[in-house]
């Protein structure tokens, strides 16, 4: 990574303004999944230990530019305080003269959480005036919010025009190192596993990976748009009719590249995708009119697991089926377990995307692979080969 990191700046006595991604799920004012908070702890603890004044800013939910207190970052600040075992000052705002004075009154080692950035419409509009107001709250800017790095917002991109140095935190560095190394210097065989319901979200990823990876394994609802393009019967399975021609061109593109594109040999089907239904296994050349595919089948599971276990680099984005329903979780679990086996054998395994990360957590395997990305949209855009505005804006090393 050719960007400055938190290790390359003097933090002692400085107001260190950190963009974190504390967009965490809440239930009745309590954080129900603190993964993103925990992932930012190394950066926060580094600032505290170095005698810096740690000022955190984040968004949470979609308050649509209005002060909606159900989206307050108070619960996240409370959970952070529990994890740090020290007080976290909860600010009532994220900009303004009073907040600026409060940051200057902070003692070395103290932590402050600013209120939700998206209470202000200027945040998502990347308004220069708002960026400048944020910049007044710090002496150094640290971006540790990889999950928001694909957005050119005031707190991720605009602020760097007014506050330098702008450096990467440890989580940002870890994300870029794993994803960057996987694409730039992969040990081979290099396998990409792509799933999810729609091909439209993965078109650019597939296009960017053709010729770079050795094998692309396709699963999830998106597989049936490919099957439609091949003239196969798909029953009532999900399909994007407007993307059929594109799927056909991707199949042709793969055929003329060094990348093998693999589709599932069979599917688990039912008349409805809901808990408790009776499922059947069908070859993907023998789906019937009333069949709705909800998962890859056992033959595909075995084939995909075998390919993954032999890989030296694996990137996974998107589940193999409707894994939230037990009857259709088998394929996703098989892929997750194969990733764990590949990791044990020395492979670099990177899981990106919110659903894939949720699946790893559901199966209790999130700490048994090389890296689980905290940034769904950001990791997807990285795999597409796009530059992330929040990363580009950081100071070059």
377 given a catalytic annotation:
yes
Pick the catalytic residue: 38, 198, 361, 362?
198
Q: Can 354 be counted among the known catalytic residues?
A: yes
Question: Furthest-apart CA pair in the chain: how many Å?
Answer: 70
> Is-catalytic flag, 181?
no
Positions of E strands within the chain: 15-19, 26-27, 30-31, 53-57, 88-90, 111-113, 140-143, 166-168, 190-194, 215-218, 260-262, 266-270, 280-283, 292-296, 313-317, 348-351, 371-372
* Active-site pick, 36, 53, 212, 309: 36
pLDDT in tens, the chain (397 residues): 689 999 999 999 999 999 999 999 999 999 999 989 999 999 999 999 999 999 999 999 999 999 999 999 999 999 999 999 999 999 999 999 999 999 999 999 999 999 999 999 999 999 999 999 999 999 999 999 998 999 999 999 999 999 999 999 999 999 999 988 888 889 999 999 999 988 888 888 999 999 999 999 999 999 999 999 999 999 999 999 999 999 999 999 999 999 999 999 999 999 999 999 999 999 987 899 899 999 999 999 999 999 999 999 999 999 999 999 999 999 999 999 999 999 999 999 999 877 899 999 999 999 999 999 888 788 888 888 888 999 999 999 8
Domains of the chain: 6-171 (3.40.50.1260), 178-383 (3.40.50.1260)
Query: How far is 90 from 112, CA to CA, in rounded Å?
Result: 6
From the list 96, 235, 253, 377, the catalytic residue is 377
- DSSP designation for 195: -
Q: Are 222 and 195 in contact (CB under 8 A)?
A: yes
- Annotated catalytic residue: which of 235, 260, 354, 368? 354
């Amino acid at each position: 990574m050719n960007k400055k990191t938190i290790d390359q700046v003097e933090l002692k006595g400085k107001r260190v303004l950190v963009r974190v991604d504390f967009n965490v799920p809440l239930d009745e004012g309590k954080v129900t999944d603190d993964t993103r908070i925990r992932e930012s702890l190394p950066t926060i603890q580094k600032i505290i230990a170095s005698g810096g004044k740690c000022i955190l800013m984040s968004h949470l939910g979609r308050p649509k530019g209005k002060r909606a207190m159900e989206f307050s970052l108070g619960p996240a600040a409370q959970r952070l305080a529990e994890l740090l075992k020290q007080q976290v000052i909860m600010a009532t705002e994220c900009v303004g003269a009073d907040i600026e004075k409060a940051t200057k009154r902070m003692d070395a080692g103290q932590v402050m959480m600013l209120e939700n950035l998206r209470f202000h419409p200027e945040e998502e509009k990347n308004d220069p005036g708002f960026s400048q107001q944020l910049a007044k709250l710090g002496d150094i800017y640290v971006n540790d919010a990889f999950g928001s790095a694909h957005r050119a917002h005031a707190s991720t991109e605009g602020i760097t025009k007014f506050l330098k140095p702008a450096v990467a935190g440890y989580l940002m560095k870890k994300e870029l190192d794993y994803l960057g190394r996987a694409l730039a210097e992969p040990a081979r065989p290099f396998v990409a596993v792509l799933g999810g319901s729609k091909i439209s979200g993965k078109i650019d990823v597939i296009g960017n990976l053709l010729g770079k990876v050795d094998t692309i394994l396709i699963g999830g609802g998106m597989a049936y748009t490919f099957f439609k393009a091949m003239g196969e019967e798909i029953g009532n399975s999900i399909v994007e009719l407007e993307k059929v021609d594109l799927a056909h061109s991707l199949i042709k593109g793969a055929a003329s590249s060094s990348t093998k594109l693999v589709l599932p040999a069979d599917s688990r089907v039912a008349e409805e995708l809901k808990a408790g239904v009776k499922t059947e296994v069908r070859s993907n050349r023998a789906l019937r009119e009333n069949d709705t595919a909800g998962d890859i089948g056992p033959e595909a599971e075995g084939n995909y697991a075998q390919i993954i276990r032999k890989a030296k680099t694996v990137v996974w984005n998107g589940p193999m089926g409707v894994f939230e329903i037990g009857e259709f979780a088998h394929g996703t679990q098989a892929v997750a377990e194969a990733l764990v086996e590949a990791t044990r054998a020395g492979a670099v395994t990177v899981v990106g995307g919110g659903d894939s990360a949720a699946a790893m957590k559901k199966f209790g395997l999130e700490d048994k692979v090389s890296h689980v990305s905290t940034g769904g949209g950001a990791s997807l855009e990285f795999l597409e080969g796009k530059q992330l505005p929040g990363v580009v804006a950081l100071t070059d090393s």
